[in-house]
Structure 1
Amino acid sequence: MTWTNLWYLLPLSSRWMTWNLFLALIPLVLSVWLFRTAKQRSVLWWMGLFWFVAFLPNAPYVLTDLIHLVFDIQSTDSLLFNTLVIIPKYVLFIGIGFEAYVLSLINLGDYLKRQDLDPWVLQVELLLHGLSAIGVYLGRIERFNSWDLMTRPHHVVRSIADTFLDPQPLLFMILGFAVIAGLYWIIKQINLALLLRHQYMKTVKE
């Protein structure tokens, strides 16, 4: 395969990457509005919270797009192209997507702390990890979208009910929960460490 053909194939993966990344950034944008800028909890705020939870699984969903990486690597015979283009492209894509998940929950945690609900932060994080694992399964395996909660809620509920009666999907979700929770904890600590360093450097300069 020539380099010309390889560069021609790039836009094919870029289309779904752009769309999935757009979906992954929606909960981050909503978290900034809900937990940083909104002044009161109006009806609109509660509607935004619903959509925040509904779209949140789209952020960790990018982890499952690693299956496309394997296909893209196998589709080329150029080690240089895979090393310099394909792999960095996926690393950036997945990194931004999951970082959106981490920052979304950090914003939520800060909001709960400002509401004097510190003991609930961990429980809420674990709950959202679990819901996200379910959402990732529904999206990757059952091919549901976030908006199906509004357009086809009965299909979503039926699929979830069937899932909990089948050990194989349940195992998928348990593993998904473990991966999401583990990566979240690691990246959250990195983010908090960078934030503390930034605050320290800012204090020293002053």
Structure 2
Amino acid sequence: MRTAPIILAALLLNIFAFITIVLRPKLFKVKLFKPMVWNFKLSLLPFFTLVVSIILFISLRYISTISGIMIIDYVGLVLFIIGLVLWLLLLPNSGYLITELNLTHREMDENEVPIWYDIVSILSFSLSGIVNTLVNIVLVQGVYLIYLDPSSVSELKLIFSALIINVLVSVGIYFGRAIRFNSWDILHITSFFKKLADYFSKRGNIKDFLLFVLFHTTFFMLMYMSFGVKNYFLYN
């Protein structure tokens, strides 16, 4: 898998974005915008959740192979599936960074901080979230290839799986931005669906939701295609 370009891009963008966030108060004598730091940390959480799940799965499968105890392999599979569900709930936190482009944090210090600084900072911040999302897709598709015959993987399957993930990510971003849901709100099922029903009962919200998901999914898929992510797994 030729994944080095996108992993390097994610690493550099995350480092640069974080530096611009922590340097902002030092350079211009303003307060640190803590919600942005929190969102940055949340954007990395899906990646680490997925990596831990993969390592645990592979480790338990290896132990099962050398010990001959098959139950360990089944336990590893169950834990991996649970990890994937948790990962999917957390993944919108990565793409959510794109919503920071509204520059709302400038409301409290727009006179102190030059606009050019925040443009570069927030643009890199948002791009880091986008690329973090793509890296997560790469990892999931990579695991899929490891445990299935690589020759059976087609370009259509890769694009379709990325499309499904990006639709779910876009839905999650909308829920977070418009309804102010967090990933863990799904644990309170009754309250979750009540808020959902109340929100979509208001005129215009369904249209807004559909347009948001359509345009954001299209954007994420364009980024997926532009980075050539599917080509990391296709061999001539």
TM-score interval for Structure 1 and Structure 2 normalised by the shorter chain: 0.7 to 0.9
- Could you tell me which of 167, 172, 181 is aligned with 1:135? 172
Structure 1 runs (4+) deviating above 6 angstroms are 3-6
TM-score, normalising length from structure 1?
A: 0.74
Q: Does 1:82 align with 2:122?
A: no
1:154 paired residue number: 190
In structure 2, distance between residues paired with 1:23 and 1:93: 13
2:41 paired residue number: 22
Shift of 1:67: 0.7
Bigger relative CO (Cα 8 Å, ≥ 6 apart)? 2
Structure 1 residues 81-113: Cα deviation after superposition (integer angstroms, max 9, x where no partner): 332x32232133223222211111001111111
Contact 1:17 1:93 in 2 (8 A): no
Partner SS, residue 38 of structure 1:
helix
Deviates more, 1:64-73 or 1:53-62: 64-73
AA aligned opposite 2:227? I
**Root-mean-square deviation (CA), in Å?**
3.3
Contact 1:102 1:188 in 2 (8 A): no
Contact 1:56 1:101 in 2 (8 A): yes
- Could you tell me which of 196, 203, 209 is aligned with 1:169? 209
The verdict on how the C-alpha distance between 1:10 and 1:183 changes in structure 2, with shifts beyond 3 A counting, is: farther
AA aligned opposite 2:94? A
Shift of 1:148: 0.5
In the TM superposition, 1:57-206 aligns within 5 A as 57-68=92-103, 71=106, 75-76=110-111, 81-83=114-116, 85-116=117-148, 118-119=153-154, 120-150=157-187, 152-160=188-196, 163=200, 166-189=206-229
Contact 2:185 2:192 in 1 (8 A): yes
Shift of 1:176: 1.7
